[in-house]
Every structure is written in C-alpha cells, then in structure tokens.
Amino acid sequence: MIRTKRKINKMRGSRTIGGGCSKKRRGAGHRGGRGMAGSHKHRWTWIVKYDPKHFGKYGFKRPQKSVKDVIPVNLSYLDEKSEQLLEQGLAKKENDVIVIDVTNLGYNKVLGQGKITKALLVKSPEFSGLAEKKIQEAGGESVTL
C-alpha cells in the first residue's frame, strides 16, 4: 500500500516516533559511527553495494598538451586604450591605422564585445566571428598570426 501522507506527520507528538523504547535510538552507536567510520569493517557491504566511485577507474583527464589557456581581450578595451598603447610603444601607427599586436599585451584571442570607432589593424592568433566583422565594418583589418 502506498502512503498518501508521510509517516512522520502521523507520528508527531508520539515522543519516540515509532522507535520503540526511548533508549533504543540514542547516539551515534545506532547509526554505526560518524561519517564514513567502519567503511572497511562493519559497513563494507554498504560500500560494495551502493558506493559507485569506490571501485575501478572513472572519469577522463585530458592530456595537458591538448589543454590551452585562452586569454581573451574585448574590442572595446582595444578601442579605448589604443592611444595609450601608442604612447607606451606597444602599438604603431601606419597610414592613419593603428596597428596592435595582441600577443605583446599578453592576450591570445580577440572577442567582439563593445563598440569600435577607429580603424585598427589587429594581429592575434585567434578572433571570434563578431570581432572580425566589427573590425572590418570600422575600416580596419584582422590579421591571424
């Protein structure tokens, strides 16, 4: 038979809630210890039956050669800081176009967030699609290294 109400609700106010004598369900001894105590002794059958991660290998770890860190920069940042980069010598000006090599700034990908108002020639190993589109619309050029 399926219970329609939880048993605990029915047992409210009954002091021991179906546990028999009040001395029987005291302390951690009834529980068999605290935490994972006894997992190699008296709780071993529980480990074998119900703990799926206990035996064998599981999961997958990618080879570290194939993991590469993407350090992105947004177009809005390049647009705002282009004049400062010229003053610091991290960018050049050629034919009214500011040339920025993103790898000199410590980035390796250009993302398309923000507006771009100047014609920039941006050199980077990677570009997002939106970044390339915005650079071209502003009259600039994106060069993949």
The 3-class secondary structure across 53-75, one letter per residue, is CCCCCCCCCCCCCCCCCCCEEEH
Q: Report the pLDDT value the prediction gives residue 43, as an integer from 0 to 100.
A: 92
Within-domain flag for 109: yes
CA dihedral 93→99→105→109, nearest 10 degrees, is 170
Within-domain flag for 102: yes
Q: Report the pLDDT value the prediction gives residue 28, as an integer from 0 to 100.
A: 81
Q: Report the pLDDT value the prediction gives residue 97, as an integer from 0 to 100.
A: 86
Q: What is the mean pLDDT of each run of 10 residues along the chain (145 residues)?
A: 85 92 88 89 92 84 89 90 86 86 89 88 90 89 87
Which structural domain, as residue segments, surrounds residue 105? 72-144
Phi, psi of 123 (to 5 degrees): -110, 130
Q: Report the pLDDT value the prediction gives residue 4, as an integer from 0 to 100.
A: 86
- CA-to-CA dists, residue 20 to 5, 15, 17, 24, 25, angstroms: 21, 10, 8, 7, 8
The number of domains in the chain is 1
CATH of the domain at 95: 3.100.10.10
Q: Report the pLDDT value the prediction gives residue 96, as an integer from 0 to 100.
A: 82
Q: Report the pLDDT value the prediction gives residue 44, as an integer from 0 to 100.
A: 93
Within-domain flag for 106: yes
Within-domain flag for 115: yes
Within-domain flag for 67: no
Within-domain flag for 135: yes
